[in-house]
Amino acid sequence: TRDSGDFYTLVRAYRFPGTGITRISPRNNRQLAVGFVTGDIALINLQTHVIRPFPVLAKGGVLDIVSLPDGDLVAASADGLLVLWDGKGLQPRKTVRLQGGYPVALCLQGGRILGRDGCLNFFAGPTDTSLSARVNFYDVHYASTHVMGTTGGNTDDMREALRMAERGQLNPAVMVTHVGGLDSAAEATLRLPDKPAGKKLIYTGIAMPLTAIDDFGSLGVSDKRFAKVDSLCRAKGGLWNVEAERYVLENWPAI
């Protein structure tokens, strides 16, 4: 994210989008587009964790958010995405990042929208050892396109992220979708593949069921504690925050 160039993230909707990058890339003066290839779950999270917290970015031309329909991802979506760059594709040092379910169609789509010297970054790799997709070797030779894979980061990346958070350039709260106590950690871990993606924040000193931030309001009808936490989160654009954390630690039983 230190070099100039556009950055595009393709995300399968049933997995949560890489919300952290929506905060980092615009701060480094990079054009960022986030594409969602399917459905409702991602759009609900998108409203809370991207559009609502960063309306200036979403409307000011720095952050382009594109929702793509189901169907032929390669033929329909890739052609549509190229319009974002006047049909030229992602240009030198510009990156396409794949995240989520990694279907072959998504890999092909990412390759099709690369421009000259474009990089296809396969982030947080697959579990299918036989996953394969076609590679356009014409573009490899004549357009210098390339593919790389990354997962997580190193210690220096962590230090940089902490410094950015201290300076207010990075807000980790956009990644948090669920909150719970130590008693919910085991079940959350075992059932993680079945739960909506996003960070599950566990407070080890209290007993509290793992609860989606978006569900605080409905739970508040029968439990005033959730109603209070919901109001604290809504005051911060629907995001988890220090006031909500303090209230939870003071009002849920110790464990």
* 149 and 203 housed in the same domain: no
- Count of domains for the chain: 2
One-letter amino acid for residue 155 of the chain = T
Same domain as 137, residue 54:
yes
Instruction: From 134, 151, 166, give the residue that closes a domain.
Output: 166
Instruction: Note the pLDDT of residue 97.
Output: 47
Q: Which of 147, 166, 185 is the last residue of a domain?
A: 166
Q: Is there a domain that residue 2 lies in?
A: no
Same domain membership, residue 90 and residue 62: yes
Same domain, 37 and 133: yes
Q: So what's the pLDDT on residue 90?
A: 43
Tokens of 146: 């390339």
Residue 89 sits in the same domain as residue 181: no
Whether 189 and 203 map to the same domain: the answer is yes
Same domain for 126 and 195, yes or no, is: no
DSSP element (H, E) containing 203: strand 199-203
Q: Which domain holds residue 223?
A: 172-251
> Both 74 and 197 in a single domain?
no
User: Which residue stretches of the chain have pLDDT < 50?
Assistant: 1-4, 12-45, 49-95, 97-102
Give the per-residue pLDDT at 10.
55
Instruction: Give the model's pLDDT for residue 197.
Output: 65
Last residue of a domain, one of 109, 133, 166: 166
SS3 content of the chain, % helix, strand, coil (to 5): 45, 20, 40
pLDDT recorded at residue 194? 78
**Which letter does DSSP use for residue 76 in this model?**
I
Asked if residue 119 and residue 18 are part of one domain, the reply reads yes
Q: Is 1 domain-assigned?
A: no
pLDDT tens digit sequence for 135-172: 899 999 998 988 888 777 789 988 988 888 888 777 78
Nearest to 16 by CA among 48, 50, 38, 41: 41
Q: What pLDDT is recorded for position 31?
A: 45
Give a yes or no: residue 234 inside a domain: yes
Report in angstroms the alpha-carbon separations of 150 from 58, 98, 197, 247: 27, 10, 19, 38
**119 and 22, same structural domain?**
yes
Q: Work out the number of other CB atoms within 10 angstroms of the CB of residue 147.
A: 18
The pLDDT assigned to 198 comes to 78
pTM of the full structure: 0.61
Query: How many residues are recorded in the chain?
Result: 255
Report which residue type is found at 113. Answer: I
Q: What is the CATH number of the domain that holds 145?
A: 3.40.50.720
Flag whether 224 is in a domain.
yes
Is 26 in the same domain as 142? yes
Same domain, yes or no: 40 and 157: yes
β-partners of residue 33 are 8, 64
